[in-house]
Structure 1
Amino acid sequence: MKKVILATVIAATVMTGCARQTFIMSPAPQTKTAELNKSQPFFVSGIGQHKTVDAAKLCGGADNVAKVEVQQTFVNGLLSVVTFGIYTPRQARVFCK
């Protein structure tokens, strides 16, 4: 029984991965803290779903947006594995100048 649990934990750890998409809008210095740092829920691996973040509105104009990131963290991947892909969250961040 212990071997089965250990094998399941190892498989879950190996199958979860981190992924990050970064969109740099301006090479100018940005704030160190994100204006938005929000977990966005997706279901069934996000098939046919989309979420929208208005970065220009958050930063007070499109010229003030420095960087936008979308990331699947280790915890997000682990939640996805535990729920068999039914719940697959992603982390969204917006950085302003």
Structure 2
Amino acid sequence: MKMMTIVFASSMLLTSCYSYTSVVGEGAQGNNQVTEWNHYVIYGLAPVGVSDSKQMADGAENYTVYTRQSFVNGLVTAITFGIYSPSVTTVTK
């Protein structure tokens, strides 16, 4: 039982934050970045307010979208016990 507890605790501590990148057109051509938070509830199952990457790109044809759960987002999720689960989207043009 003690070993199972240690394995479970270790697996919880070693989890990582998720991230994914989408390249539109030829990808970012410069360093102009726009960042917005995405708002979810119930461990990310129900979106409340999600950013629109196309609108964030402001008409650019080539851009890169990077969505992730940062440390701060994970901390907020942990403090609220998963009721509120934010993430961050950054669009680089």
- Scaled by the length of structure 1, the TM-score of the pair is 0.66
Which has a greater percent of strand? 2
- Scaled by the length of structure 2, the TM-score of the pair is 0.68
Cα 1:15–1:76 change in 2 (3 A) is farther
| Backbone CA RMSD of aligned residues | 2.6
SS at match of 2:43: helix
Identity of aligned residues (%): 25
1:76 to 73, 78, 85: 73
The 8 Å contact of residues 17 and 77 in structure 1, kept in 2 or not, is answered as no
* Consecutive unaligned residues in structure 2, runs of 5 or more: 1-8
| Matching residue of 1:61 | 59
SS at match of 1:17: coil
- After TM superposition, list the pairs within 5 Å mapping 1:11-50 onto structure 2: 14=13, 17-27=16-26, 29-34=28-33, 36-49=34-47
CA distance in 2 between counterparts of 1:28 and 1:92 reads 15
